Amino acid sequence: MPNNCPIDLIPYDESKAINLPQIINSNYTNQDFWSLKSRLVDFINERFGSNGTVLPNTFNDFVESSIAIMLMEIYAFVGDTISFKQDQQFGENFIDSVSELENAFRLCKNIGMQPIPPVPARTLWTASINSTNSQDVVLTAPVKITTSSNGETINIELFPCDSNYNPIFNQNIIIPAGSTSVNSIVGLEGRSVSNTFSGTGEPGQTFQLLNAPVAYNSIEVIVNGNIWNKVDYFTDSQPRPEYRVEFDSNYNAYVIFGNNRTGLIPFLGSVITINYRVGGGIKGNIISNYVTTQYQAFVESLGFSVTVALNNYTKGSYGYDGDGIDEIKRKYPNYLRTQNRAVTGLDYKTLADQFATAYHGQIGKSIAVLRNHGCAGNIIDIYILAKNGQNGLEKTSNELKVDLLEEINTKKMLTDYVCLKDGIIVYTDVQIDLTCDKFFKKFESEIKENVLKRIDSFFALSNWEYGQTLSSSDLLKQLSDLKQIKSIDLSFLTDDSESSEVSTVTTNFYEIIRPDVIEINFNYEK
């Protein structure tokens, strides 16, 4: 047959084949130091040892003090370090494995989610004088108060407030003539700050505020004497006087302007004044009557000063440290599913759970229940409770309800009707009787502290939802590994259970359990 192949084929000659070294089987999943060292020892032994494939097959120096082992350990250490960093960096790309707050913020930015920055605590105050005065006593606002709690300095500013307890920033506090006191005063934890910048005329101008942490929703932007409006995103914006705000993991705030297609550009040389507050956190949740101080108010018409007594007659509420990595991980999946709109019950719950205000606090727990309303749409009942402190809940104020409803109405289905209702807190007393060996009596305070820490962890707000059942067996699991304790008797007492103690507390779908009085008694055996 004629050879029609365009290429001359050379027959395979086995004698000319290249013999490649055979690499030992390796487990590429074990990448820690000791696994890598073991693999290196096996590799050297199989390649260069008495049964090795590389001449002279004489290497056998595997004692721990040898140079060879030292080099292998160096390589294993380097490999272990590189492997760890690779795994860590890979894990930082996913919300369930992220460990650094900065990377968690980056993931949130990708989906348009803004973690809640610190929220300032709010207190109500009274100002009083010893006797009536024929003239108004004027306290120039803000009246600055400094106190401390648990070694932390707490800065508070006092402002007059309206009937809804909103601060009035451009007015002074006045004790009217003929009166001895006034109690329409709100105290905000933190300090007022103002920064001034000059416009560059460029699209997307971004200015980092000079102080941190910036309190939630406290930013006011004034460009050439005109107040600009804050928006969450520029995607739906027109060329209007608008700006948006981003926070980094240290809660530094960045004010960002538009490009004349979405949001206006402050022109070159524009005077940009940004007023905001610095502070926030649970440290501001002081107890009532915690601060009693004196303030000298000058009565100009009379030409002398008057001593004014200042006192917080309510406890601090709403103070929040800002979302940490655990809180971000909890919120992220629901926010991703919701996509900043409300269609399902879970959407409404997500929007409510992530809602916070500058002066009326934030939502702590919510549950949304959909009721069919025929062809006219749905009625959505949202049972809400406000967050107060780390693990505290309280009845939601009317002011916070109004703010939340306004926010939900911008994201709900047009035909949906939203009803905000109060969730119910079922306060539960915890009675614990501990039996220990008498040897541990001298360690009673340490044991008690450890038990209380575990109870606090058990009742962490993130672990509880509406309608959840409290069982003594669940709490016992938290305490069962304390070796100093021989036996534990545990029971609960609620208002519904009256005087009888129970081992299980059940709730309705609109109720949530929170601990009240925790009593720990010790018994000692010989």
Identify the residue with better confidence: 423 or 86.
Answer: 423
At 401-430, the pLDDT tens digits run 999 999 999 888 888 889 999 999 999 999
Query: What's the pLDDT at 163?
Result: 84
pLDDT of residue 23 exceeding 60, the answer is no
Average pLDDT estimate for 111-134: 88
d(C-alpha 385, C-alpha 400), whole Å? 10
CA distances from 135 to 85, 174, 226, 298 (A): 70, 10, 36, 11
Average pLDDT estimate for 486-500: 81
Q: Indicate the pLDDT class of residue 11, thresholds 50, 70 and 90.
A: low
pLDDT of residue 446 exceeding 70, the answer is yes
Q: For a pLDDT cut of 70, what percent of the chain falls above it?
A: 92
**Domains of the chain by residue range:** 21-91, 122-190+282-312, 192-278, 325-422, 425-525
Q: Indicate the pLDDT class of residue 178, thresholds 50, 70 and 90.
A: confident
Give the Cα-Cα-Cα angle 373, 375, 379 (nearest 5 degrees).
25
Calculate the average pLDDT of the chain. 87
At 321-376, the pLDDT tens digits run 889 898 899 889 888 888 778 888 889 999 999 898 888 889 999 999 988 766 66
Q: Indicate the pLDDT class of residue 498, thresholds 50, 70 and 90.
A: low
CA distances from 524 to 122, 200, 448, 480 (A): 45, 74, 14, 18
Query: What's the pLDDT at 237?
Result: 72
pLDDT of residue 381 exceeding 90, the answer is yes
Average pLDDT estimate for 58-70: 84
Instruction: Please list, in sequence order, all residues whose beta carbon lies within 8 angstroms of the beta carbon of residue 310, skipping any fewer than 6 positions away.
Output: 125, 126, 127, 143, 145, 158, 291, 292, 293, 294, 295
What one-letter code names the amino acid at 59? F
At 447-469, the pLDDT tens digits run 999 999 999 999 999 899 999 99
Query: What's the pLDDT at 43?
Result: 84
d(C-alpha 455, C-alpha 462), whole Å? 14
- Helix then strand then coil, in percent of the chain rounded to 5, is 25, 35, 45
Burial degree of 229 (CB within 10 A; 0-12, 13-18, 19+): exposed
Name the most confidently modeled range: 7-21, 45-59, 133-147.
Answer: 133-147
Average pLDDT estimate for 254-263: 93
Instruction: Please list, in sequence order, all residues whose beta carbon lies within 8 angstroms of the beta carbon of residue 329, skipping any fewer than 6 positions away.
Output: 95, 96, 98, 104
Average pLDDT estimate for 18-44: 75
CA distances from 462 to 167, 234, 437 (A): 31, 32, 35
d(C-alpha 318, C-alpha 314), whole Å? 12
Query: What's the pLDDT at 14?
Result: 63
d(C-alpha 275, C-alpha 192), whole Å? 7
Average pLDDT estimate for 425-450: 91
Q: Are 320 and 359 in contact (CB under 8 A)?
A: no
User: What is the CATH T-level fold of the domain 325-422, as seen in this structure?
Assistant: GMP Synthetase; Chain A, domain 3 (3.30.300)
Q: Indicate the pLDDT class of residue 8, thresholds 50, 70 and 90.
A: low
Query: What's the pLDDT at 199?
Result: 95
Average pLDDT estimate for 290-296: 91
Average pLDDT estimate for 4-12: 58
Q: Indicate the pLDDT class of residue 12, thresholds 50, 70 and 90.
A: low
Q: Indicate the pLDDT class of residue 19, thresholds 50, 70 and 90.
A: low
pLDDT of residue 303 exceeding 70, the answer is no
Burial degree of 167 (CB within 10 A; 0-12, 13-18, 19+): buried
Q: Are 253 and 246 in contact (CB under 8 A)?
A: yes
Query: What's the pLDDT at 2?
Result: 54
Query: What's the pLDDT at 505?
Result: 92
Question: HEC states along 411-449?
Answer: CECCCCEEEEEECEEEEEEEEEEEEEEHHHHHHHHHHHH
